[in-house]
Amino acid sequence: MWLDVACTKFHDRESRLDEEVSRQREIFSGASQSFIWLSRTETQSLNTIWKELLEISNSFWGDKEALRAADDIAEILIARALPTMKRLLEDPWFTSLWTLQEAIANPDAILLSANGIPSVLQNHASIAFEDSSQAEIWYQDSTSSVRILPIRELKFGPRTEIQDYPITYVTLRHLVHISKTILDVAIACAQPSNGVEDLKNLIEQSGLSSFASFNVMRLWKVAQDRHEQNHGDQIEYIHKHILGFPSGLGTPFSEHPKSASRIEEYFSIQLMCHFPVLSQLFVRTRICEEPGSWIFSKDCTLPDVDLIFTCFEKYIPLLEVSIFTTQTTVDGLEFTGYSVNFSSAMESLSQSSGTSRLLGISFDAVTDCPSMTAFPTRQPLRLPNKEIWHVSTERKSQIIRLFDLHVHGSDVRLLLLARAGGLQVSSPALGMGLIIRQKTEGAWQRLGWCYWTFESDSTGNNDDAQEGLVANSIGLGKLRVVQLHGISE
């Protein structure tokens, strides 16, 4: 048993502690059971908060499982959900940088009050935590077919596999689930107000909604809201102790004094090397003045599409990346991958006779193009075993037309990032691509990214390197594929 309740401030720690701190990952993930001690929340208060959150979640829907009127929802969010979440999130566990490891490594940790007592999940409440077994993506135009995607999410039901706990206690996973439900309703609220915005910001800054599915980019965003004086400390914690990236001699972490900007740049490049696909799934809302269009920065946002991506398994990256150095200085990212003409790809994905459909697309804010996005919207409807996502075909077509007007004449390419799913013939699969254009000889600027669904084809061998088969294996028909080798601009 390891009791971890007395943590030093991150920036006050001694360097010799780093190795021990990094061991927390294996301790938390390997533990038979973990507990989260809410040291400032008394037992009665924790029980009251949990009961209230459960009642709030159930009160959003009427007798026919449809959302209540907008006025009723706004009143519930402001009068009940906001003060309840404030009381809960006052506990320092939700603002400490150290606790991110616990949340990521063991989300089934049982919540304990300041008195060391857990809250019991009543049997009648278990229905509130039943996850969807499938997701449906609906297109607004009547000619497109409905795609049904199998979803893989852990269940929140009773812990039948652990005989030592005949009673189901409230865990972090339960709290994450119910917080995400409240946030989804707040986002979809037809009558936004200051109170509703305050509630959305409160949940997002706590990180609870981000723990619904692991996304290292979202984890970085959460860390920025944690209570540490130095922005570099937040990145260093994730870099060293959660992800275990290199941090020895020759890296900005070994320099004295440390430069927060150099640490952030180095960390971003490491993210691209270790997560070449995930590191590009962001939205750039402001123009990037300096070279670095591929790098995620503090002013970028992360779209709420994680749930769609969990519908698929066995991601196969189609992009190879490595660090590009000049005179031992890290200058950027070198990449090798396959690409197709962007306009041809968009035409292929919009054909009514084809099986491939563009789900979402995002254009970054660049000098000659404003930031524009068109992603599926999740509908907070509690239908039996289903998640419903709506795709606005007209919105996608509109922003693609605007993009074409801004970059007319440029050779814009779709760099193939990854494919996923489609383990059986004619089963749903997912394709992802990065929208890029050449700025200088061998250097490519990121303009945005997109993803689409298609039916798996037996001729699309995932391991086949022949360019003639690559496009077919990712749902882009027989488009001409060009192999690209370059440097991120």
Positive or negative torsion for Cα 196, 202, 204, 209: negative
Report the percent of the chain where pLDDT is more than 70. Answer: 77
HSE-CB at 126 with a 13 A cutoff on CA atoms is 13
Degrees, nearest 5: CA angle 381-386-392: 65
Confidence of residue 467 (pLDDT cuts 50, 70, 90): low
Q: For the residues 157-185, what does the mean pLDDT come to?
A: 71
Q: For the residues 137-164, what does the mean pLDDT come to?
A: 50
Mean of all residue pLDDT scores within the chain = 80
Q: For the residues 89-115, what does the mean pLDDT come to?
A: 88
Do the Cβ atoms of 212 and 245 come closer than 8 Å? no
Phi, psi dihedrals of residue 210, rounded to the nearest 5°: -75, -20
Confidence of residue 96 (pLDDT cuts 50, 70, 90): confident
pLDDT over 80 at 153, yes or no = no
The pLDDT score that the predictor gives to residue 7 is 63
- DSSP string spanning 336-369? EEEEEEHHHHHHHHT-TTSS-EEEEEEE--BTTB
Query: Could you read off the pLDDT of 382-424 as tens digits, one per residue?
Result: 555 566 778 888 889 999 999 988 887 778 999 999 998 766 6
Kindly give the interhelix angle for 172-188 and 43-59, rounded to the nearest 10 degrees: 40
Q: For the residues 129-136, what does the mean pLDDT come to?
A: 59
pLDDT over 80 at 321, yes or no = yes
Instruction: Classify residue 446 by burial, with Cβ atoms within 10 Å: 0-12, 13-18, 19+.
Output: buried
pLDDT over 70 at 127, yes or no = no
Instruction: Classify residue 438 by burial, with Cβ atoms within 10 Å: 0-12, 13-18, 19+.
Output: middle
The pLDDT score that the predictor gives to residue 473 is 84
- In one letter, which amino acid is 440? T
Confidence of residue 156 (pLDDT cuts 50, 70, 90): very low
Do the Cβ atoms of 116 and 36 come closer than 8 Å? no
pTM (predicted TM-score): 0.83
Do the Cβ atoms of 95 and 103 come closer than 8 Å? no
Mean pLDDT lowest for which of 210-219, 456-465, 472-481?
Answer: 456-465
Query: Could you read off the pLDDT of 31-52 as tens digits, one per residue?
Result: 888 899 999 999 999 999 999 9
Query: Could you read off the pLDDT of 217-263 as tens digits, one per residue?
Result: 888 778 877 766 566 678 777 887 778 787 777 788 778 887 777 88
Mean pLDDT lowest for which of 217-221, 337-341, 346-350?
Answer: 217-221
Which token pair is 119?
Answer: 């809250």
Phi, psi dihedrals of residue 390, rounded to the nearest 5°: -105, 130
The pLDDT score that the predictor gives to residue 331 is 63
The pLDDT score that the predictor gives to residue 457 is 64
pLDDT over 80 at 453, yes or no = yes
Rounding to the nearest 10 degrees, give the CA dihedral for residues 16, 21, 23, 25: -160
The pLDDT score that the predictor gives to residue 256 is 80
Which token pair is 333?
Answer: 């990212």
Write down the domain spans for the chain.
Answer: 10-229, 276-488
- Where does 170-281 have alpha helices with state H? 172-188, 194-206, 216-223, 231-236, 260-274
Mean pLDDT lowest for which of 58-62, 132-136, 335-339, 364-368?
Answer: 132-136
Q: Which residues pair with 61 in a beta bridge?
A: 67
